[in-house]
Structure 1
Amino acid sequence: MKKRLISSYDEINDTFVGKIDGEDGFCADFDISNGIFLGVNKNNCPNSIYVNNASSVLNISKQTLENSNVKINIRCDSDCLYFTMFIENFHVCSLRCKNIFEIPLVNFEMDSNY
């Protein structure tokens, strides 16, 4: 399943934010890896991403983070959450963590060009 991603990058504060278009608010924020926060809605489904100190956390230049062509893949099973991020088709990061957040089985892509 694909969902439209709205993302922005604040170079002064080095903050990356992305959210699913049409989703309002969030119920919880989970630190899924080293400063990458995943917001979930009332059904515990991911609906936003927040990265403070984004250039150092993602090990990527601020100039690259300013690009609006962003794709984020999120997949969850009963054991793990898998997160992958691309900017302008450049692989920025992949991570896997235990699904201790009670996120249901999901498999979708947030795409700024959808």
Structure 2
Amino acid sequence: MKKRLISSYDEINDTFVGKVDGEKGYRADYGISDGIYLGINNSNMPTSVFIPNASEVFNTSKELLESADVKINIDCSESCLCFDMCIENSKICSIKCKNSFGIPKMKCLIDSNI
């Protein structure tokens, strides 16, 4: 499944926020890694990403985080959540963690260029 990502980066507060366009509802934010939070709606589907101290979390420049070319890939099974984030076609984050969040089996590309 493909979804459109609306993202913004606040350089002063070093905060990255991404929202899945058209998704509504909110149930919880889950820390899927140090400093990376995934928002989930009432249907257990990802709706947003929040990353405070983003340049430190990703160990990258603030200038790169200002790019509008952002892609997030979420691949989830009953037991495992894989989260990859690319900016300007460069992978800046790859996380694999236990799916203790109730997210159903899914593969989703959330892309700012859709």
TM over 0.5: yes
Distance 1:14 1:24 in 2: 25
Deviations 1:39-92 (A, max 9, x none): 011111111100000000011100000001000000110110000000010111
Distance 1:41 1:22 in 2: 12
3-state DSSP class of the match of 2:68? coil
Q: Is the 8 A contact 2:26 2:41 kept in 1?
A: yes
Q: Aligned residue for 1:55?
A: 55
Distance 1:102 1:3 in 2: 20
Distance 1:113 1:35 in 2: 25
Q: Aligned residue for 2:16?
A: 16
TM-score by length of 2: 0.97
Gaps of 5+ in 1: none
3-state DSSP class of the match of 1:103? coil
Structure 1 residue 86 corresponds to structure 2 residue 86: yes
Gaps of 5+ in 2: none
CA RMSD of aligned residues (A): 0.7
Distance 1:2 1:83 in 2: 15
Q: Aligned residue for 2:67?
A: 67
How far off is 1:24 after superposition? 2.9
Aligned letter for 2:33?
A: S
Q: Aligned residue for 1:26?
A: 26
TM-score by length of 1: 0.97
Q: Is the 8 A contact 2:30 2:39 kept in 1?
A: yes
Q: Aligned residue for 1:45?
A: 45
Q: Is the 8 A contact 2:69 2:112 kept in 1?
A: yes
Displaced runs of 4 or more, over 3 A: none
Q: Aligned residue for 1:4?
A: 4
3-state DSSP class of the match of 2:74? strand
Distance 1:105 1:47 in 2: 15
